[in-house]
């Protein structure tokens, strides 16, 4: 893996050691920018949950040198992936390739993905137990303060600290995230308990105000399931809140036997509330830029949250690579102009796709038609090359080995 370090170049501080922060750190270091990641937790890691890596981000991660590592811990998702009605009737296939036919789609355990990203960074580049509590800047430098009493200086600060970002208020007036009215139950189950399941398949069942999905992670040894259920009361946004297994099973009573059969084998689960934000007025202020959920929190109904964060990091790396310290504010504005054209669309479509999955349509035939025609939008998502787009924004041409 490329671990090029900077010698006298830009210094970047990344607040947040999740998927967005760590992928941005690797993208920046690949282009010779010195990076330090500040994470508030005492140790890196996320509670077990599944995440999709799609072609639009996988091609970037492979260019960083992560191809073999991701293949070793991911589960390739491909043939047999389908959308279904709640009774099991097949609506249509799920697209798992880009327009070239490249199957760059993995189901990943979040902890596995984080471990891969962190392993390419030197230990000195990751500072845990650093909860950011203050930010200030002037014409020459940005400064961070942490709850442990330490401070840090950098040429550029990247806020990758999630939907509840503490740095967002230094860019825009902060408003609470918007609750979707949906609670998601999730968990993992050993594939050996369900030998009849297709190991490479992503399955989505769509029903009366709710939906259920399953996909493989960790080389196919585990199945990640998620049940999306409406609720009248807000549910905390947490990866580790214990869910009610019986309530989950009851929510999908009478559905396709494949769903109810899986739920019979579930012993424990977790839940979290689904939140997003309407597009922000701005993502940057001087030497500070928002990234990932801090910039464009979106619902999970396209599986693009992590993927768009990876794109953000690559775009920043391209735009900052040959940027002098005094030109950083202009480079960050260019980053925002490039990225939000795409993320505004993805945020809106994630909301709409949730309505499709939850059958919030007067006509299910119309809904099913939109689901079958979704491949064109998915190709737009998957074919995009953010590295080339960022280079084009600079008027340069990137020569790279495309997958």
Residue 218 lies inside a defined structural domain of this protein = no
Per-residue confidence (pLDDT) for residue 240, from 0 to 100: 56
Residue 58 lies inside a defined structural domain of this protein = no
Per-residue confidence (pLDDT) for residue 162, from 0 to 100: 95
User: Can you give the pLDDT of all 403 residues of the chain as single tens digits?
Assistant: 433 333 348 999 999 999 999 999 999 999 999 999 999 999 887 666 899 999 999 999 999 999 999 999 999 999 999 999 999 999 999 999 999 999 999 999 999 999 999 999 999 999 999 999 999 999 999 999 999 999 999 999 999 999 999 999 999 998 899 999 999 999 999 999 999 888 899 999 999 999 999 999 999 999 999 999 998 776 655 555 667 788 999 999 999 999 999 999 998 888 888 999 999 999 999 999 999 999 999 999 999 999 999 999 999 999 999 999 999 999 999 999 999 999 999 999 999 999 999 999 999 999 999 999 999 999 999 999 999 999 999 885 543 433 3
- Residue pair 200/216 in contact by the 8 Å Cβ criterion: yes
Residue 104 lies inside a defined structural domain of this protein = no
Tokens 């424990």 sit at which residue?
Answer: 268
Residue 95 lies inside a defined structural domain of this protein = no
Can you give the CATH number for the domain in which 16 is found? Answer: 3.50.50.60
Residue 288 lies inside a defined structural domain of this protein = yes
Query: Mutual orientation of helices 375-383 and 55-63 as an angle, nearest 10°?
Result: 20
Residue 17 lies inside a defined structural domain of this protein = yes
Total domains, the chain = 1
* Structural tokens at position 145: 């303060």
Q: State which residues form the domain around 386.
A: 11-48+113-176+280-393
Residue 321 lies inside a defined structural domain of this protein = yes
Give the integer Cα–Cα distance in Å for 354 and 349.
Answer: 8
- Residue pair 211/180 in contact by the 8 Å Cβ criterion: no
Residue 368 lies inside a defined structural domain of this protein = yes
- Residue pair 137/287 in contact by the 8 Å Cβ criterion: yes
Per-residue confidence (pLDDT) for residue 233, from 0 to 100: 73
**pTM of the entire structure?**
0.94
Q: What is the pLDDT of residues 34-49, one digit of tens each?
A: 999 999 999 887 666 8
Query: Could you tell me what percent of the chain has a pLDDT over 70?
Result: 93
């Amino acid at each position: 893996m490329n671990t090029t370090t900077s010698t006298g170049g830009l210094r970047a501080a990344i607040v947040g050691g999740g998927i967005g922060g760590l992928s941005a750190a690797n993208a920046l270091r690949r282009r010779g920018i010195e990076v330090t990641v500040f994470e508030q937790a005492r140790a890196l890691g996320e509670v077990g949950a599944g995440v999709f890596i799609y072609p639009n981000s996988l091609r970037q991660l492979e260019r960083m040198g992560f191809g073999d590592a991701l293949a070793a811990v991911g589960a390739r998702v491909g043939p047999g992936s389908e959308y279904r009605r709640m009774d099991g009737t097949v609506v249509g296939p799920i697209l798992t390739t880009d327009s070239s036919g490249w199957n760059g789609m993995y189901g990943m355990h979040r902890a596995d993905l984080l471990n891969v990203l962190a392993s390419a960074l030197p230990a000195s580049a990751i500072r845990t137990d650093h909860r950011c509590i203050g930010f200030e800047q002037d014409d020459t430098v940005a400064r961070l303060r942490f709850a442990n009493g330490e401070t840090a200086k950098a040429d550029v600060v990247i806020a990758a600290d999630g939907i509840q970002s503490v740095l967002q208020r230094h860019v825009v007036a902060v408003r609470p995230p918007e609750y979707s009215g949906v609670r998601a139950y999730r968990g993992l189950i050993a594939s050996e308990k369900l030998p009849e399941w297709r190991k490479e398949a992503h399955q989505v069942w769509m029903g009366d105000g709710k939906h259920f999905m399953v996909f493989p992670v960790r080389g196919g040894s585990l199945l990640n399931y998620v049940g999306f259920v409406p609720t009248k009361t807000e549910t905390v946004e947490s990866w580790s809140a214990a869910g009610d297994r019986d309530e989950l099973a009851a929510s999908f009573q009478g559905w396709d036997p494949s769903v109810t059969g899986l739920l019979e084998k579930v012993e424990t689960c977790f839940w979290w509330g689904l939140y997003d934000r309407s597009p922000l007025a701005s993502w940057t202020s001087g030497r500070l830029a928002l990234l990932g959920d801090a910039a464009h929190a979106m619902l999970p109904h396209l599986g693009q949250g992590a993927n768009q964060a990876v794109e953000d990091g690559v775009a920043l790396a391209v735009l900052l690579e040959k940027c002098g310290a005094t030109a950083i504010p202009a480079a960050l504005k260019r980053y925002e102009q490039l990225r939000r054209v795409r993320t505004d669309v993805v945020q809106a479509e994630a909301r709409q796709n949730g309505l499709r999955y939850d059958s919030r349509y007067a006509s299910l035939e119309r809904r099913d038609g939109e689901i079958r025609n979704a491949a064109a939008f998915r190709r737009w998502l998957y074919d995009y090359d953010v590295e080339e787009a960022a280079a084009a924004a600079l008027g340069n041409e990137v020569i790279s080995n495309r997958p």
